[in-house]
Structure 1
Amino acid sequence: MSAWTTLVQAEDLAARLGAPELVVVDCRHSLTDPAAGVAAWSAGHVHGAAHADMDRDLSAPPAPGSGAGRHPWPAAAALRQRLGAWGVGPGSQVVAYDAGDGAFAARLWFLLRALGHGPVAVLDGGWARWSALGLPCEAAVPASPAPAEYPAAEFDRARLLDAAQVQAHLRQGGLLLDARAGERFRGRIEPVDRVAGHVPGARNRPYSDNLSGGRFKAPARLREEFEALLSGRAPERAVAMCGSGVTACHHLLAMEHAGLEGARLYTGSWSGWIDDPARPVATGTE
Structure 2
Amino acid sequence: MRCETLIDVGALHRALHDDAPVLLDCRYDLTDPAAGRRAFADAHLPGARYVDLAADMSGPVTETSGRHPLPEPAVLAARLGAFGITTDTQVVCYDAADGAFAARAWWLLRWLGHDAVAVLDGGFAAWVQAGLPTERGEPRPAQASAPPLAIRPPRVHAVAVDEVERGLGGTRRLLVDARAAERYRGEREPIDPVAGHIPGAVNRPAADNLAGGRFKPAGLLAAEWQTLLGRHAVDELVVYCGSGVTACHHLLALAHASMPGAQLYAGSWSEWCRDAARPVARGG
- On whether the aligned pair clears a TM of 0.5, the verdict is yes
Question: What is the one-letter code of the residue matched to 1:103?
Answer: A
SS of structure 1 residue aligned to 2:100? coil
SS at match of 1:138: coil
**Higher mean C-alpha deviation, range 142-151 or range 90-99:** 142-151
Q: Does 1:81 align with 2:78?
A: yes
* Deviation at residue 167 of structure 1 after TM alignment: 2.5
Instruction: Give the Å deviation of 1:157.
Output: 9.8
Query: How far does the alpha carbon of each residue in 1:8-42 deviate from its partner, in whole angstroms, 9 at most, with x for none?
Result: 00010000115564100000000000000000000
Counterpart of 2:273, as a letter, is I
Q: Which of 94, 97, 109 in structure 2 is aligned with 1:97?
A: 94
| Alignment partner, residue 177 of structure 2 | 178
**Residue number in structure 1 paired with 2:131:** 134
Normalising to structure 1: TM-score of the pair? 0.94
> What percent identity do the matched residue pairs reach?
51
What value does the CA root-mean-square deviation take over the aligned residues?
A: 1.7
Q: Write out aligned runs for 1:7-156 (5 A).
A: 7-18=6-17, 21-65=20-64, 68-141=65-138, 148-153=146-151, 156=154
Partner of 2:199: 200
Q: Deviations over 1:219-277 (max 9, x none)?
A: 00000000111113221110110000000000000001001001100010000001111
1:188 to 2:206 alignment: no
Match of 2:158 among 154, 157, 160: 160
Cα contact 2:175–2:200 (8 A) shared by 1? yes
Aligned match of 2:252? 253
Conserved 8 A contact 1:88-1:148:
no
User: How far 1:149 moved relative to its partner?
Assistant: 2.3
> What letter corresponds to residue 100 of structure 1 in structure 2?
A
Secondary structure of the structure 1 residue equivalent to 2:252: helix
Structure 1 residues 18, 74: CA separation in 2 closer, same or farther (over 3 Å shift)?
farther
Cα pair 1:21 1:91 within 8 Å, conserved: no
Q: 1:178 to 1:198 in 2, by over 3 A?
A: same
Q: Which amino acid aligns with 1:205?
A: R
Aligned AA (1:195): V
Q: Deviations over 1:70-112 (max 9, x none)?
A: 0011000110111011111111100000000001000000001
Task: In structure 2, list runs of 5 or more residues that go unmatched.
Answer: none
Residue correspondences, number: 282
For the Cα contact (< 8 Å) 2:112–2:154, is it kept in 1?
Answer: yes
Contact 2:79 2:148 in 1 (8 A): no
Q: Cα offset for 1:168?
A: 2.9
Deviation at 1:159, TM superposition (A): 1.5
For structure 1, list consecutive stretches of 5 or more residues without a partner in the other structure. none
Distance in 1 of aligned mates of 2:26 and 2:243: 16
